[in-house]
Chain A
């Protein structure tokens, strides 16, 4: 459905995207994951015909983004990084306008506006001015705008940015639901985000593809060793020694220390392997456990692992 072949984009001397290739099959949800400035937005702008690549080719639904931009544009819905909103219009007026420029027949405009409002959770604010909406609602209007003509392909640039936690969960649900019917690409710099919504992830860094896999595979690949953070009340040196002796623990690192407690980072093959022994060790020494949580793998960790630096 979407195919990018050896895309390179240069801004002057700087290469924002370097020789990037990937495919997205019909109905798939692909995540473009990378830190800020990795080239995600640039890649999306190339796919949406906003700007041409310096070299390489891309096609959507069989139409080349460079040769047949109008055909491509008819088939895509795009949510840019900043939702493109006209503040002086009402939500409904804005969506009707978008219907008009996206070739939705006049007859079905109202039906499509209704459907998009329902999907994006905008039904209650339809009559309000876009300019008076909160950031979360504006983001949703942006999503509704991308969905409104039921495009085959949806390209969403950081769709959950600026939303509160509840809205993020709703938005993830919405994006998941889009797969199957639509082919979706979302970008994000948050690992959990893409694992929650995408069937496949392409990780890019400095414009280059670092890895491509399913979220589960990536997590397994990256997190061969699991890291746990434990906040323990006890003498730091002794605790570290004892913890290190537990079977399954590959290393204990002192992370931080205050008057009462010490935080250790424990490298182990899995929390289930060490949990029992950890608790009994602490109990035997009369040390208290204040907190035990998995250290979430940050994107930086993923890159370090994947690039082997």
Chain B
């Protein structure tokens, strides 16, 4: 555990040592604030439902950019050789990196608390719905960052890593659109894999354990694949 935290700490420091965390943070805050303002002023509704959906879209673009460097950069500059010849397990390396990128994600998410303050100031939002919305965003973010971490482990090129992550996330997002086309049990299975179907409940204030389990499983799966890939890479 001490080593995981140490790895996470180093990774987190490297995010803030380069402009990437600041730029992505600024872009995220700018765009989500724009959505918040437009939606609040048009809808005159003291809830974040629409805002959360839009933040999701922003995250879809930002998550691959956050995760792209995780493994790709270390492979490129050769520090992977240090990690892989040190007494560390693949899981420790994966979890260290995952914790770090989750830290950055939570910092991004924290900026949106400003909107909550404003909502309480101008109206009477319902706490439960806000809270479940945040749980939903957190779970979606966790899952996407895990997927991005995995694509980063596949390559030493950050751009390829980001593109792979983006395509993967987008496909998983829109997968439920084909439900009507395919139909039957297969359509059902496909739509169950899709992210969107599992997220929508959280916006309405429903925290369904089945959906929570979906995101946790999704996260675990990609962390597991990353750890396996690190092991497998030794053989190539």
A interface with B by C-beta (< 8 Å)? 48-52, 70, 73-74, 76, 78, 80, 82-89, 97-98, 100-103, 145
Q: Assuming the A-B contacts A50-B234, A51-B235, are A101 and B81 also in contact, with contact meaning beta carbons closer than 8 angstroms in the complex?
A: no
* Chain A residues whose CB sits within 8 angstroms of the CB of B7 once the complex forms: 101
New contact pairs (12) apart from A52-B235, A88-B14, CB-CB < 8 Å: A49-B84, A50-B84, A51-B234, A70-B87, A73-B85, A73-B87, A74-B87, A82-B81, A86-B10, A88-B13, A97-B10, A101-B87
Main secondary structure of the interface of B (DSSP, over half): helix
Pair A49/B85 contact, Cβ less than 8 Å: yes
The CA-CA distance from A84 to B86 in the complex, in Å, is 12
Q: Which residues of B sit under 8 angstroms from A83, Cβ to Cβ?
A: 78
Closest to B16 in A: A88
Identify the closest chain A residue to B3 (Cβ).
A101
The smallest C-beta distance from A295 to any residue of chain B, in angstroms, reads 37
Across-interface contacts of B3 in A (CB, < 8 A): 100-101
The binding surface of chain A is classed by DSSP as: loop
Q: B87 touching A82 by the CB < 8 A rule?
A: no
Q: Give the contacting residue for B234; candidates A52, A84, A87, A97; CB below 8 A.
A: A52
- In the assembled complex, which residues on chain B have CB atoms less than 8 Å from the CB atom of A85? 77, 79
Known A-B contacts A84-B78, A88-B18; the reply to A101 vs B83 at CB < 8 A is yes
A102 to B80, CA, bound (A): 14
By the criterion CB–CB under 8 Å, are B88 and A101 in contact? yes
CA distance A160 to B6 in the complex (A): 30
Chain A minimum-CB-distance residue to B7: A101
With CB as the reference atom, state the residue of chain B lying closest to A131. B17
B124 at the interface (CB under 8 A from A): no
Closest to A82 in B: B78
* A236–B10 alpha-carbon span in the complex (Å): 68
For B235, list chain A residues within 8 Å (CB).
Answer: 51-52
A236 to B74, CA, bound (A): 59
Q: Assess the B87–A84 pair: CB atoms within 8 A.
A: no
Query: Could you jot down 11 A-B contacts, CB within 8 Å?
Result: A50-B81, A51-B234, A51-B235, A70-B89, A73-B88, A76-B85, A80-B85, A84-B81, A88-B18, A100-B2, A145-B82
Residues A48 and B85 in contact in the complex (CB < 8 Å), given A88-B17, A88-B18:
yes
User: Which residues of A sit under 8 angstroms from B18, Cβ to Cβ?
Assistant: 88
In the complex, chain A residues whose CB is within 8 Å of the CB of B85: 48-50, 73, 76, 78, 80
User: How many angstroms from the CA of A51 to the CA of B230 in the assembled complex?
Assistant: 11
Contacts of B81 in A (CB 8 A): 50, 78, 80, 82, 84
